[in-house]
Amino acid sequence: MSSLKDVSLRQAGIGVTTLMLASGCMTARLEESRNNATAIASHEAVVLLAKPHVEGITAEDEFMDCVGDRMARETGIQVRSNDEFVDSMFPWLEPSTAPQRPEGVTRLLSKDVVADRIAASGVRYLIWVDGTTRQTDSGGSITCTLGPAGGGCIGFGWWEKESDYQAVVWDLNTAKTAGSVSTNVTGTSALLGIVLPLPFIARVENTACDRLATQLGGFLRGEEPATSAEGT
């Protein structure tokens, strides 16, 4: 009986070691495309907006706030509140009226009243953010029980998530796209049941936020792109 227990413990130890190496592991890819030179002065600001879609699926508000907050903190670039900017531009950026194609944005920016409101806001760059975080795969199972003598969990479950986002940068001074920045992060998380459930979480959305904020900051300042693919 003791030998069987020793074998089980050894197997569990191997499982934990393997899990720590394999789960919580992420791969990140960054891409950048530039159409025009960019620079931003200390008195100029940017605003991030979720790109509108006919089907109503847009980038999450939490992700937008994350990117804006981190870009402002890391680079010192002024980031305007997207809600306040949309309100100041009423009714042109409401979900039902916002342009969904580049030519629509160009037409919108050519309106004198729109140009006047943008000038008053101090916003130099409008950044359309598109994308989402979704679960792409999963497997395994874990069971937890509770009885008079106590409880516990046994099993192994895993899931894979992907965060895929693109940010298109519009220069409001020229009414043209300056380019785009994109990030794709995939990661595998797992839950191992050895009496107590042991989670190993790959925080793909948080990593995508960090990478996109850093890449956008460099893009707006006209720095060389940091296009890369790496494991974390």
Structure confidence by residue, pLDDT tens digits, 214-231: 999 999 999 887 655 556
| Average confidence (pLDDT) over 16-45 | 77
13, pLDDT greater than 50: no
Query: For 170-188, how does the pLDDT look when each residue is reduced to its tens digit (9 = 90+)?
Result: 999 998 999 999 999 999 9
Q: What is the pLDDT of residue 152?
A: 79
123, pLDDT greater than 90: yes
State the Cα torsion 78-80-81-84 to the nearest 10°: 150
Query: What range defines the domain where residue 45 resides?
Result: 2-231
pTM of the model as a whole: 0.79
Residues in the chain: 232
Number of domains, the chain: 1
Strand order of the β-sheet with 25-34 is 78-80, 45-50, 123-147, 150-171, 176-200, 25-34, 228-231
Q: Which amino acid is at 145?
A: T
